[in-house]
Chains A and B, each alone.
Chain A
Amino acid sequence: MALGKNKWHDRYPELGTGPIPVEPYVSPEYFEQERDRIFRKTWLNIGRVEQIPQPGDYFVKDLTVCNTSILVVRGKDGEVRAFHNMCSHRGNQLVWDTKGRCQTFSCKFHGWTYALDGSLRHITDEHNFFGLKKETLGMTPLAVDTWEGFIFINVDPDPQQALSEYLGKGLRTSITGYPFEDLSTNCFSWHTDVQANWKVAKDAFQEVYHISTLHRRIIGDVYASKANPYANALDFTLYPPHGRVSLSANPGRKLTGVESIVQGFGSTVLQQNNSASEELPAGVNPTGYPHWSFDGLALFPNCLIYVSKGTYLTHIFWPITENLTRWEIRTYSPQAETLSGRFSQEYGKVSFRDTLLEDASTLERTQTMLRSGAKKEIVLQDEELLIRQHYKVTESFLNA
């Protein structure tokens, strides 16, 4: 692998080389602009179609950053729809649990009842109202669409772009054929609230510069090797406002004792050396590297999708305040058919989770110090390209 200085900057000189300001990480005013001009305007990934496989299946997503709660439901016609989770009578939240299956949605306050398509079906003591037109009092729908089984919503009543246009042909084509559906039968998921700006959290997962230091004990040698001691990327390709990074594995890494046992039953972690990746579509592992590890798709604004062979995972960062973020992690893999397979998955889950705990160790500490005001800027190196791009894209949204 050729390692050249400033090679990503040379590919994307428009992103510059300078420092970026601290203000976007700490300012309540900046946060309000992000809310209004990004989160209320762009397509947001809120889950997978596998969460609602059957008609009547639903889940609720609290979208604090957009000041709403969203009800996503599969209709009798099989369509996925999304609504503000709100009764048309006096505004009560309609569904209070996080997921389930039902025939109709009935408000716990006064019993108003809605069909799965959002239409109002029943008003309790209806004749005491004053000329209500039921057909105008359905739940308020949101723009919803799916891509590769991911469900996206847009709270803008009149989205400026369709989802496919927002994602862009380049990014979509690059991943077409990746077996998202086959790999989504089993999902391990976690969430936590971290006292850090959502970009501090996202930044930590869109660069691998930290791996050889922060994760030196657990995965330091998974990606870094003698030839590539800082785990520099194989490739960065930008599809503004999104981007993708491709990473190599260390072909010389020795497995630990339990890893050797696990390996016989298929792994569920990204920490692997995929010497045979010919089963994957051409756009994945774009450099065709023989010791490829994974590709990371950074979907603007708040979603990362890491795809590997036989497994993929997502990070989604939901802003709550400028100093608080709900961080959601989901790993996807085929359902294990045997107890041995379950043991193997459990090991993959645990070791991945441990790396997350290490990752998270910096988030709140970083936020604390960014808030000190001691420094006005932070500096980035060439491998931190996606952080730089995020800042530039955000600026373009806020100044549009």
Chain B
Amino acid sequence: MSKRQLPEGFQDLEPYLEWSLATDRERSIKRQTSPMTKITAFYQAVVPRMDEILAYLEQYPLEQVPADAQRLFYLTLSLAKIAPAVEMYGEPVPEGLDTLRLENIDIYPTRS
């Protein structure tokens, strides 16, 4: 049996790990290139679990998130990314400028 990727109690979401993406750009591309059937399936799997997921994630300070919880968190960011597609458009992206043309810029200082 392969190693558990998501925290105890959330393994039923492991079929959706392809949505656990670390960057906004990856999530944008995933949304843009996925058919609505896949987007909707992911939405329907995660939304009913959101209260549990957010309550679980609350326990970790931002700097000390274990890898499995981090993967779960990235799933929530993908949910944020695709929710308007399901709830508002009925298609992956709104009719408009190509999403990748809006480039993310980090204007604040980067501190290590």
Is A133 interfacial (CB 8 A cutoff)? no
A20 interface residue (CB < 8 Å to B) = no
Q: How far is the CA of A187 from the CA of B107 in the complex (A)?
A: 8
How far in angstroms is the closest Cβ of chain A from B105? 4
Stretch with Cβ within 8 A of B (4 or more), from A169-177, A254-262, A386-394:
A254-262
A380 interfacial by beta-carbon distance below 8 Å: no
Residues of chain A with a CB closer than 8 A to B58's CB: 338-340
Contacts of B84 in A (CB 8 A): 218, 350-351, 354
Residue from the list B87, B95, B107 in contact with A189, Cβ < 8 A: B107
Write out, one digit per residue, whether chain B residues 38-76 have a CB within 8 A of any chain A CB (1) or not (0). 000000000100110010011010100100010001001
Interface size range of chain A in the complex? 35 or more
Bitwise interface map of B from 69 to 108 toward A, beta carbon under 8 Å scored 1, else 0: 1000100110111011001110001111111011111111
Q: Does A37 contact B (CB under 8 A)?
A: no
B88 adjacent to A218 (CB under 8 Å): yes
Interface window among A46-54, A136-144, A159-167 = A46-54
A residues within 8 A CB of B47? 257-258, 261
Give Cα A188 to B60, complex, Å: 23
> Contacts of A347 on B, CB cut-off 8 Å?
80, 83
Q: Are A330 and B54 in contact (CB under 8 A)?
A: no
Given A190-B102, A339-B60, CB of A350 within 8 Å of CB of B80: yes
CB distance A99 to B107 under 8 Å? yes
Report A-chain residues with C-beta under 8 Å of the C-beta of B103. 190-192
List of A residues within 8 angstroms of B102 by Cβ: 190-192, 329, 353, 356-357, 360
Q: B107 touching A192 by the CB < 8 A rule?
A: no
Given A191-B103, A339-B65, decide whether A51 and B108 contact each other with a Cβ distance below 8 A: yes
Give the docked Cα–Cα distance between A218 and B96 (Å): 13
B9 interface residue (CB < 8 Å to A): no
Give the docked Cα–Cα distance between A53 and B73 (Å). 30
**What separation, in Å, do the CA atoms of A256 and B89 have in the docked complex?**
12
Residues of B near A340 (CB, < 8 A) are 54, 57-58
The reply on B15 being an interface residue by CB < 8 A is no
Residue numbers in A under 8 Å from B106 (CB-CB)? 189
Q: Which residues of B contact A356 (CB under 8 A)?
A: 96-97, 102
| Interface check A226, CB cutoff 8 A | no
> Using Cβ atoms and an 8 Å threshold, which residues of chain A touch B94?
217-218, 354, 357-358
Closest CB in chain B relative to A351 CB, distance in Å? 5
Over the window 338-355 of chain A, the binary record of Cβ atoms lying under 8 Å from chain B Cβ atoms (1 yes, 0 no) is 111011001101110110
CB distance from B98 to the nearest CB of A (A): 8
Interface contact A361-B97, CB-CB below 8 Å: yes
A-side contacts of B73, CB under 8 Å: 339, 342-343
Q: Which of B54, B87, B101 meets A192, CB within 8 Å?
A: B101
Closest A-B pairs by Cβ, 8 of them:
A357-B96, A360-B97, A258-B83, A361-B96, A347-B80, A339-B57, A346-B80, A256-B87
Which residues of B approach A to under 8 Å, CB–CB? 47, 50-51, 54, 57-58, 60, 62, 65, 69, 73, 76-77, 79-81, 83-84, 87-89, 93-99, 101-109
Besides the contacts A54-B109, A265-B54, what 16 more A-B pairs have beta carbons closer than 8 Å? A189-B104, A189-B107, A192-B102, A261-B50, A328-B105, A338-B58, A342-B62, A343-B73, A353-B99, A354-B93, A356-B96, A356-B97, A357-B96, A357-B97, A359-B96, A361-B96
